[in-house]
Amino acid sequence: MSSAEAHKQDNAPISLNAHRKRRNDAREFLPAALEIVETPASPAGRAIAGSIMLFFAIAIAWSIMGHVDIIASAQGKIVPTGRTKTIQPLEAGVVAAIHVQDGDKVRAGDVLVELDRTVTEAERRRVAQGLMQARLDVARLGVLRDSFADLAALRPLSLPKGAATNDVARTRAALQAQAAEQLSKLASNLQQIAQKRAEAQSVEAAIAKIDATLPFLQETADIRRNAKEIQYGNQIAFIDAQSRLIDQQSERVVQTRRLVEIEAARLVLEQQLAQTRSGFERQVLSDLTDAEKKVEELTQDLVKAERKIAEQVLRAPIDGTVQQLALHTVGGVVTPAQQLMLIVPADSQLEAEAMISNRDIGFVNVGQPAEIKIDTFNFTRYGLVHGKVLSVSQDSIVREKPADKQNGGKPTGALAETSEPAGQEFIYSARVSLEEKQMQVEDKMVALAPGMAVTVEIKTGTRRIIEYVMSPLFRYRQESLRER
């Protein structure tokens, strides 16, 4: 290349720039309208428009290809795996002793609180005494039942264990008296029957004697009649013989009737004897049945009385720590189902119990990952706790809807439409594990504690960003123009 050509190339940009400057200077002397027409468009505008179009193209591509997590958010609290146990009295009572304080460690079965047992102990003693007497009555009546054949030879009395000497003595005396009374009645009836039998034997002997003399008297009367007819005997002798015959015949009739009456009376006495025996046996068996029923009833009453006494000694159901003790005064009154204290299980794992809304429960499943925000510690500063869904309740829990969700009682928008009753909401309980039991707060580790409020965010799936952006449009297109 020659030196002339090289010099020409070095001066080319300068000439082009000078030419542009001259053109620009020339346009400045043109009228405003022509200046605008003659002035070429700035390349910066095209660059900005291209940049905007490129940005939207990239955004659309990212929304189609990119995905976001679908989160179900639920409020809840931290709970121990074994559940905190509430200590409550079954019935009203007076505090007799308090054996624990807030923060005390207790083991299962330790006595926590004792209530006054004066009334229940008295009731138990009354029932126990009645039960012992009923058992003694069963033993006494059993001896009488087994000795129906011979009350004079009673079998030994089988005494219940723990019977008092005085009660045993009274029972033996009652047994002897009852047997003696029955024997006396039977002896009286037997004596009357024997008397009637003796009377019957005497009458039978008199009848036999009459039967033995009647033939002789008949023969004597016949002889007197014959003698009178042949004029050998007198009339007086005939009449006398005939009169003795008639007297004996009449006497036989009287004695026969008396014998019938005596036999009838004896049969009545024998029936009375049988009734005395059967009535005694029936009464003994009836009393024995009643006594056995009473034993069964009083046995159950004794169990109830002892249960009441046991319930007035409140014991720790599990190993744990005493919390929220509400008793501080001996002699104070407690009411049924009053919360006296809580027992937090010892060495139990912590979990988050979250209340899933009715709209999210269909997408929450066991094993899904979750992030737990502890309300006590700002998550933007102290971080989150991770976990997984352990269980989900199979039935809903109905509770009053918070005031901030009621919107004045009037639902608004498509999302506000619900079949839940007014003022109420259906929620489901879910258990979420906690992978961390402590959090770094400033320069120390702080342990998580039961009762801390949390917000649980459960990842239920993913979807494309374009779907998330377009879903309101699709929903409103589907639900629009429905009003009459």
pLDDT at 478: 63
- pLDDT beyond 70 at 19: no
Distance CA 352, CA 384 (A): 13
Mean pLDDT of the chain: 81
pLDDT at 301: 94
Distance CA 87, CA 313 (A): 11
pLDDT at 2: 44
Distance CA 324, CA 111 (A): 17
Cβ(332)–Cβ(94) under 8 Å? yes
pLDDT at 371: 92
- pLDDT beyond 50 at 332: yes
pLDDT at 151: 80
pLDDT at 29: 61
Mean pLDDT score, 222-232? 67
Q: Which CATH number fits domain 69-81+349-479: 2.40.30.170, 1.10.357.10, 1.20.1080.10, 3.40.190.10?
A: 2.40.30.170
Distance CA 351, CA 426 (A): 22
Please report where in the chains the tokens 């179009």 appear, as a residue: 53
Phi, psi of 69 (to 5 degrees): -75, 145
Find, among 455, 400, 422, 434, the residue nearest to 81 by Cα.
434
Distance CA 88, CA 97 (A): 15
Maximum C-alpha span of the chain: 230
Q: What is the pLDDT of residues 233-280, one digit of tens each?
A: 566 766 777 777 787 778 888 888 888 888 888 888 888 888 888 888
Share of the chain above pLDDT 90, in %: 30
pLDDT at 335: 93
- pLDDT beyond 90 at 206: no
DSSP label at residue 483: -
Q: What is the pLDDT of residues 295-322, one digit of tens each?
A: 999 999 999 999 999 999 999 999 988 9
Is 85-115+313-334 CATH 2.40.50.100? Answer: yes
pLDDT at 9: 47
Distance CA 171, CA 177 (A): 10
- pLDDT beyond 90 at 131: yes
Q: What is the pLDDT of residues 56-98, one digit of tens each?
A: 888 888 777 777 778 889 999 988 877 788 999 999 999 999 9
Find, among 318, 363, 357, the residue nearest to 341 by Cα.
318
DSSP label at residue 395: S
pLDDT at 448: 87
- pLDDT beyond 70 at 408: no
For residue 94, give both structure tokens.
Answer: 């007076």
pLDDT at 10: 47
- pLDDT beyond 80 at 221: no
Burial class (CB in 10 A: 0-12, 13-18, 19+), 334: buried
Cα distance from N-terminal residue to C-terminal residue, the chain: 89
Share of the chain above pLDDT 70, in %: 81
Helix (H) or strand (E) holding 334: strand 333-334
Q: Where are the alpha helices (DSSP H) in 31-111?
A: 32-38, 43-65
- Whole-prediction pTM: 0.57
Burial class (CB in 10 A: 0-12, 13-18, 19+), 214: middle
- CATH 2.40.30.170-classified regions of the chain: 69-81+349-479
The larger pLDDT score, comparing residue 448 to residue 462, is at 448
pLDDT at 189: 85
Phi, psi of 210 (to 5 degrees): -65, -45
Q: Which of 79-88, 127-136, 232-241, 407-416 has the lowest mean pLDDT?
A: 407-416
Cβ(291)–Cβ(200) under 8 Å? no
pLDDT at 415: 44
Distance CA 316, CA 109 (A): 5
pLDDT at 190: 83
Which one of 52-56, 75-79, 210-214 scores highest in mean pLDDT? 75-79
Helix (H) or strand (E) holding 179: helix 165-229
- CATH 2.40.50.100-classified regions of the chain: 85-115+313-334
Cβ(392)–Cβ(370) under 8 Å? no
DSSP label at residue 154: P
Instruction: Give the three-state DSSP class for 364.
Output: coil
Question: Predicted confidence band at 388 (pLDDT cuts at 50, 70, 90)?
Answer: very high
pLDDT at 310: 92
Q: Which long-range contacts link 283-291 to residues 24+ away (Cβ below 8 Å)?
A: 284/141, 284/144, 284/145, 284/148, 285/145, 287/137, 287/141, 288/138, 288/141, 288/142, 288/145, 291/134, 291/137, 291/138, 291/141
pLDDT at 272: 86
